[in-house]
């Protein structure tokens, strides 16, 4: 899995609570991404990072924030979880931006009740 | 806004048969990626196509890119059961199609 660890692997939380998902890489890659995967929607980009403290929004960023204080860690925070954020979240990394493919973590299954 | 459409979304085929999955995208893109996902698993990179006319092959799978037609194809030759998975294309890395769920029946 290209040295990518997502934690937790599974989480159940209640509506309105904050949730933070962590992505840790050991590849020293510059680019990191958060996607969500939902049936019928494929993968949709939430946020991405092109370096420490450099992040940008993706297609479905509302309700999510990210932080990257170190090259190896990219955190995704749901400020106040809603049921519509129940999903499988994938972190991905790439070495050279658009010229190199994404390598994905194993995913975090989040259920918001 | 870049949109990526795959078809078919579901494909059931017999072992030994050939078939093609299509990936159309809406705006200019010079880069196209194909990924495979097994049920309950993560995504694995299959092919990176970086220029018009690019063709790559790995085993029974061959991918091509026509940037003028904004079309990429993933051709399956003599399918085997192990190819059963969901296949995604992605343009400019960031925008994915909805995936094609391939089932290869004995």
Domains identified in chain A, total number: 1
The parent domain of residue A99 ranges over 4-112
pLDDT of residue B77: 97
Candidates B93, B97, B98, B100, partner chain A, best to mutate (most A CBs within 10 A): B93
* Chain A residues within 8 A of B94 when measuring between CB atoms: 33, 45, 48, 58
Give per-residue pLDDT as tens, A93-110.
998 877 789 999 999 999
- CB atoms closer than 10 angstroms to residue B82: 11
pLDDT of residue B52: 86
Average pLDDT over residues B83-94: 90
User: Quick check: A53 and A69 in contact, CB under 8 A?
Assistant: yes
Q: Is the pLDDT of residue B17 over 60?
A: yes
Find the CATH number of the domain harbouring A69.
2.60.40.10
**Residues B15, A105: Cα–Cα separation, whole Å:** 31
Architecture of domain B4-99: Sandwich (2.60)
Q: Where are the domains of chain B?
A: 4-99
* Chain B residues within 8 A of A43 when measuring between CB atoms: 43, 88, 90, 96
* Chain B residues within 8 A of A90 when measuring between CB atoms: 42-43
pLDDT of residue A2: 63
Give per-residue pLDDT as tens, B56-87.
999 999 999 999 999 999 999 999 999 999 99
Q: Is the pLDDT of residue B41 over 70?
A: yes
């Amino acid at each position: 899995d290209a040295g990518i660890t997502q934690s937790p692997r599974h989480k159940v939380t209640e509506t309105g609570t904050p949730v933070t998902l962590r992505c840790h890489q050991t590849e020293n890659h510059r680019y990191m991404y958060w996607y969500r995967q939902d049936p019928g929607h494929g993968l949709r980009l939430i946020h991405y990072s092109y370096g420490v403290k450099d992040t940008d929004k993706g297609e479905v960023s509302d309700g999510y924030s990210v932080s990257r204080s170190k090259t190896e860690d990219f955190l995704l925070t749901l400020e106040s979880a809603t049921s519509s954020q129940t999903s499988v979240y994938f972190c991905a990394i790439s070495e050279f931006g658009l010229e190199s493919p994404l390598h994905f973590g194993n995913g975090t299954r989040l259920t918001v009740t | 806004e870049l949109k990526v459409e795959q078809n078919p979304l579901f494909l059931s085929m017999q072992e030994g048969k050939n078939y093609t999955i299509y990936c159309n995208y809406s705006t200019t893109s010079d880069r196209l990626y194909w990924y495979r996902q097994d049920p309950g698993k993560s995504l694995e990179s299959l092919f990176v196509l970086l220029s018009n006319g690019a063709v790559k092959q790995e085993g029974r799978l061959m991918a091509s890119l026509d940037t003028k037609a904004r079309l990429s194809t993933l051709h399956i030759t003599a399918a085997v059961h192990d190819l059963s998975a969901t296949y995604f294309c992605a343009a400019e890395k960031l925008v994915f199609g909805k995936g094609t769920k391939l089932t290869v029946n004995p």
